[in-house]
Structure 1
Amino acid sequence: MPKRALIEKRPWLLASLAAATAYYFLRDNPVGEGTWGLLLKGAGVALLALYVLLRVPHGKHRGDGFLLVGALVLAAAGDVAIELDVLAGGACFAAAHMVAVVLYLRNRHPRPSPTQKLMGAGLLIGTPLVSYVLSGQPEVAIYAAFLGAMASAAWMSHYPRYRVGTGAVLFVLSDWLIFSRMGSFDLEPLPTILIWPLYYAGQLMIATGIVQCLRGEQPVR
């Protein structure tokens, strides 16, 4: 990699990883509470958005890069907003999912395999269904319809399924653990341990996978 790219671009990815890791270990400590905790939580995905903005090349794929940045910025806003107001946070994430759906539909796989179609349909239908079973709340199922649309569209896109598609599935699993806390399914300690790592890993895989494709460093499928 050129020295300039290493100095000017990749440090934002490292900073994102550092912020996400710091939040995970400090979230239950006094340092991780209040304003500093909110800043750390939001910084993880916000810095991913900055990384994407700096890494997306000029040219015909610039629009796709901006859509990815928009989805990440809205998700970062959701990370912060959900700590203050659940509805506001949910609205930010629903908007992020819709922006991501637009991105993935612009990049649909031209010839999806039968298993890819089956997985896409399963995510579209199964995500809100399982979310309702776990939470017992219709409004959660409504939000999860946006989540399922995002994951399904990611899996059906021409981006690498085992990077971008899997990242979207990790996002779904993270939210399912959140929803399990709302209903009668006691899955502890899994939610406490895994919600944030699954969510951040999913966003990281999506961001880096798409950027590599847009830069021609990873072939599209």
Structure 2
Amino acid sequence: MTETVGDREDAPAGGVASVVLLLGLLAGLSYYLASQFVEPSALRIAWKGAGVGLLAIWAAMQARSLDGWLLALVMALGASGDVVLEAVGFVEGGMAFMAGHLIAITLFFRNRRAETSLSQKALAVLLVPAVIWISWMLPADRSMATDIALYATPLAFMSALAWLSRFSRYLTGIGAILFVISDLLIFARLGPLATSMVPGLLIWPLYFTGQAMIAIGVVRTLAADRTP
């Protein structure tokens, strides 16, 4: 079999991309321990942003189309949200995540599945009001309820459209659901789970795993599109 120039050029790039993905996964997963044992500092903030930040770089290295670049932007905004949430505040970090959800909505809407079963459509339709309503119900301080519900609206549509997209439901679809559960636990910490250990134990693992699954699912599908 003859090796083309393009194959020779793609091989090193693919190898470097794999290393970036591995480093991103290691950074994101290890941050869970860092958040428990490392005191708040610039190091911890950088560590927090490194996981999804490296996923953004990895996605950009794989990008060959608008959809690929949209994914990279989603991950970049997620990493920005991680850092801003820690360094600046809840509201500012939430705005970065909202922007990411809006870009993700565009990505998933552009890649709607050609055929979807009635049960899958029903789940997506129910997901939107359920996520918004639960988000509104959770905070004990009712003055926060409307703002949290507004944030949850693009989050809910993002997860529903991810579920209806042509990307793998076992990766991108479930990853989006994990992201939603992570955010609901954040809201629950403002209310019924204020004194519980559960949010602290689960928020980051669910969030980062969800982001990684979203990214890997999209990249795999887009790469398959390029396969002859």
Instruction: Give the unaligned 5+ runs of structure 2.
Output: 1-6
1:180 pairs with one of 184, 188, 194: 188
2:46 pairs with one of 20, 28, 39: 39
Q: Which residue of 2 aligns with 1:72?
A: 75
1:54 pairs with one of 56, 61, 64: 61
Shift of 1:98: 0.1
Shift of 1:151: 0.3
Change (3 A) 1:29 1:128: same
Q: Which residue of 2 aligns with 1:162?
A: 170
Moved more, 114-123 or 21-30: 21-30
Identity %: 37
Shift of 1:3: 5.2
CA distance in 2, matches of 1:218, 1:115: 31
1:75-116 deviation line (CA, Å, top 9, x unaligned): 110001112211110100000000000000001112211011
TM-score scaled by structure 1? 0.91
Q: CA RMSD in A?
A: 2.0
Change (3 A) 1:55 1:193: same
User: Within 5 Å, which residues of 2 pair with 1:168-207?
Assistant: 168-186=176-194, 188-207=196-215
Q: Which residue of 2 aligns with 1:27?
A: 35
Q: Which residue of 1 aligns with 2:153?
A: 145
Pairing 1:85–2:102 present: no
CA distance in 2, matches of 1:213, 1:13: 16
1:48-77 deviation line (CA, Å, top 9, x unaligned): 011111123x3xxx1000000111101110
Q: Which residue of 1 aligns with 2:4?
A: none
Shift of 1:29: 2.5
Change (3 A) 1:131 1:187: farther
Greater radius of gyration (CA): 2
Q: Is the 8 A contact 1:212 1:218 kept in 2?
A: no
Shift of 1:138: 1.5
Moved more, 122-131 or 207-216: 122-131
User: Within 5 Å, which residues of 2 pair with 1:105-144?
Assistant: 105-135=109-139, 136=142, 137-144=145-152
Instruction: Give the unaligned 5+ runs of structure 1.
Output: none
Q: Which residue of 1 aligns with 2:102?
A: 98
Q: Is the 8 A contact 1:134 1:185 kept in 2?
A: no
TM-score scaled by structure 2? 0.88
Q: Is the 8 A contact 2:135 2:149 kept in 1?
A: yes
Opposite residue 118 of structure 1, the aligned amino acid is: A
Shift of 1:8: 1.3
CA distance in 1, matches of 2:222, 2:56: 15
